[in-house]
């Protein structure tokens, strides 16, 4: 959009579907530092009364079969760290489906505001008849149900081989850019 020399633009990006393997949450479960591990020492019933964090629930709140269906148990530290998931590897082992999350997200990728100066002072300073000045902000907002920091995380950096694996990765950064261009 352009109005009397002012230019405004925005880039809103929506990605629907896909999965992220949230190994950050899994590791934090194993170390007892994720919020969902606060239920240690509390009684829970499989398939019935598990708390959810940011729409993500672990395996207590799902379909259950005998034996144990409907049985109340005390959730101890071993549930997260000692292999209660059946693998002997703690929270980072066991069924991978307990750590897969929906990667659907909407991101405000960029917003920019610019102005074109065509005054005599531009000719005096730069020797050109016009100058554009633009301020742009990138990755300003993210809307997602993903419980980690960023569903677009990439364990392999520039490699696509590990895309969709979150294991203490750095999220996309927010940044500001100022651009000055002289026209002749």
Instruction: Please spell the DSSP secondary structure of 112-154, one letter per residue.
Output: EEEEEE-SHHHHHHHSSSEEEEEEEEEEEEEEE--SSS-TT-B
Domain finish residue from 58, 77, 95: 95
Residues 175, 109: one domain?
yes
* The pair of three-digit structure tokens given for residue 100, joined into one six-digit string: 């897969």
Distance CA 51, CA 22 (A): 18
Asked whether residue 23 is domain-assigned, the answer is no
Q: Which residues contact 112 (CB under 8 A, 6 or more apart)?
A: 7, 8, 9, 10, 134, 135, 136, 137
Confidence band of 2 (pLDDT split at 50, 70, 90): low
Domain finish residue from 70, 95, 120: 95
Residues 57, 120: one domain?
no
% of the chain surpassing 70 pLDDT? 74
* Average pLDDT along the chain: 80
Residue 112: what pLDDT?
97
Asked whether residue 64 is domain-assigned, the answer is yes
Residues 10, 41: one domain?
no
Residue 71: what pLDDT?
78
Taken in order 115, 119, 123, 126, the sign of the CA dihedral is negative
pLDDT in tens, 83-127: 544 444 555 556 677 788 999 999 999 999 999 998 888 888 878
pLDDT in tens, 132-177: 999 999 999 999 999 899 998 888 766 666 778 888 888 889 999 9
Residues 79, 125: one domain?
no
In which residue are the tokens 């760290």 written?
Answer: 81
Residue 143: what pLDDT?
97
Range of the domain at 130: 2-18+103-183
CB 143 within 8 Å of CB 54: no
* The pair of three-digit structure tokens given for residue 55, joined into one six-digit string: 């729409």
Residues 91, 108: one domain?
no
pLDDT in tens, 39-62: 888 887 766 665 444 444 544 555
CA 118 to chain centre: 43
Q: How many domains does the chain have?
A: 2
Residues 107, 164: one domain?
yes
């Amino acid at each position: 959009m352009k109005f009397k020399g002012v230019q405004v633009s925005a880039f809103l990006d929506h990605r629907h579907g896909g999965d992220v393997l949230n190994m950050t949450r899994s590791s934090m479960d194993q170390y007892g530092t994720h919020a969902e591990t606060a239920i240690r020492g509390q009684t829970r019933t499989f398939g019935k009364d598990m708390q959810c964090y940011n729409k993500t629930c672990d395996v207590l709140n799902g379909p259950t079969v005998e034996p144990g269906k409907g049985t109340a148990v005390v959730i101890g530290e071993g549930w997260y760290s000692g292999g209660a998931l059946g693998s002997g590897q703690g929270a980072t082992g066991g069924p991978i489906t307990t750590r897969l999350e929906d990667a659907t997200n909407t991101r405000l990728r960029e917003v920019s505001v610019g102005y074109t100066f065509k005054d005599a002072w531009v000719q005096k300073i730069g020797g050109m008849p016009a100058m554009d000045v633009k301020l742009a902000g990138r990755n300003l907002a993210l809307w997602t149900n993903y419980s980690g920091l960023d569903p677009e995380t990439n364990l392999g950096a520039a490699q696509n081989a590990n895309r969709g694996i979150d294991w203490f990765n750095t999220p996309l950064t927010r940044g500001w850019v100022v651009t000055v261009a002289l026209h002749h």
